[in-house]
Amino acid sequence: MQRKTYPLNGDFGLMIENVTRQDLEDSGFQREAHELWTLHGGLIAVRGADLAETSPEQLVAWSGVFGAVEEVLQTAREKVMVPGFPILRIGNTKDEAGKPKASFAKVPRLMSDADIQYNPESRRPVWHTDSTFRKQPPIGSVFHCRQAPPTGAETLFADTRAAFANLDAATKAKLETLEAVCSLAHHDKKISLYSSGYPVLTPEQRAANPPNRVPIVLEHPVSGIPALYGLNSSTCAVVPAGEPVAEAALDKWDLEGVEDDSVLILRDLLPHITGPDFTVKWSWRPGDIVAWDNRCTMHAATGFEYDRYAREMWRLTLLDAVAANAA
């Protein structure tokens, strides 16, 4: 059956239908997919009748089309990884003994498409860019659907290139001078305040994971197109590029889990970034594989009827190939 392509929202996002597992291993199709990924804002989905049987080996090989697959298993998550592979299972599925076999967190369901746009009062959905606190933040991720509920559990994506391009000149100029201060210690402390038992960093771990600073406007290294960047649960402040941060301020953000008011410079843009002109709602079917580029997109999870249906996703993390080889 001939492959077909469908745009998801203008030039943002592309779905390729009738893809087979054999296609995933075809070098010509791999090159084409990477080009389309770049042209369509770092969001590409493939769908096909036999993709639900995609093997871990095939998924790892396909993911490597878009970046270097992070091979290091995540600490304390061995039980929710696909054995022998750097693939994290996410969802509410259980093993034969009735124990969870996937990483699981409840998030609100979409009641309507109006809920896609960020609500400043509820601070939902939790739109973000992944792991900006890392010295070398991941460039993207790949999601593969193994099991999906009939409704709900959509993943939301926003085009931060177009969102930046549609800002006025004065706002663009201001944002281009700023950096986000992103701290893993702040991230974990913040989550611990509303998730009982969530571990926070020890003093030694905090010292080993100093804050990372990323530009609010990131020029994509391949396309050269600027995009908004840097909003993550670890983002504790927004400061002029290169400006020092006082240790007392960082202690407050890290140890109390509060963020500086300066983060509002970026957070206040979320209703704009996540408006209908710039967003895609992806409704999953078993077998679907979606790759997204953290450098020019944001994303958010949505919930489903957890007590009624089961869901399992496989996730791989993508690193910059040049940086990964240098390490």
108 and 214 fall within a common domain:
no
Domain count, the chain: 2
- Answer whether residue 159 is part of any domain: no
Go through 277-315 and write b for each residue having 16 or more CB atoms within 10 A of its CB, e for each that does not. Answer: ebbbbbebeebbbbbbbbbbbbbbbbbbebeeeebbbbb
62 and 189 fall within a common domain:
no
Per-residue confidence band for 194, with pLDDT thresholds at 50, 70 and 90? confident
Quick: pLDDT tens for 211-223. Answer: 999 999 999 999 9
| Mean pLDDT over each residue of the chain, to the nearest integer | 95
What pLDDT does 308 receive?
97
127 and 174 fall within a common domain:
no
292 and 262 fall within a common domain:
no
The two tokens of residue 236 are 């504790």
Cβ proximity of 204 and 259 under 8 Å: no
pLDDT (average), residues 313-322: 94
Residue that finishes a domain, picked among 268, 291, 308: 268
- Answer whether residue 276 is part of any domain: no
Per-residue confidence band for 248, with pLDDT thresholds at 50, 70 and 90? very high
Per-residue confidence band for 227, with pLDDT thresholds at 50, 70 and 90? very high
Task: Check which CATH number belongs to the domain holding 116 and give it.
Answer: 3.60.130.10
> Could you check whether the bond before residue 149 is cis, i.e. omega within 30 degrees of 0?
no
8 and 136 fall within a common domain:
yes
For 210, the domain range is 168-268
The two tokens of residue 220 are 């994509």
Pick from 279, 270, 302: which is nearest to 10 by CA?
Answer: 279
Quick: pLDDT tens for 20-78. Answer: 999 999 999 999 999 999 999 999 999 999 999 999 999 999 999 999 999 976 555 67
pLDDT (average), residues 205-230: 97
- Answer whether residue 302 is part of any domain: yes
- Answer whether residue 273 is part of any domain: no
- Answer whether residue 152 is part of any domain: no
Per-residue confidence band for 195, with pLDDT thresholds at 50, 70 and 90? confident
- Answer whether residue 151 is part of any domain: no
What pLDDT does 72 receive?
79
What pLDDT does 326 receive?
58
- Answer whether residue 61 is part of any domain: yes
pLDDT at 280 over 70: yes
298 and 212 fall within a common domain:
no
Residue that finishes a domain, picked among 268, 298, 316: 268
Residue that finishes a domain, picked among 223, 241, 268: 268
131 and 57 fall within a common domain:
yes
319 and 253 fall within a common domain:
no
Cα-based distances in Å from 224 to 82, 135, 171: 36, 21, 20
141 and 11 fall within a common domain:
yes
Q: Which residue shows structure tokens 């593969």?
A: 144
- Answer whether residue 274 is part of any domain: no
Quick: pLDDT tens for 124-177. Answer: 999 999 999 999 999 999 999 999 999 999 999 999 999 999 999 999 999 999
pLDDT at 307 over 60: yes
142 and 10 fall within a common domain:
yes
94 and 50 fall within a common domain:
yes
287 and 199 fall within a common domain:
no
Q: Which residue shows structure tokens 């990131």?
A: 218
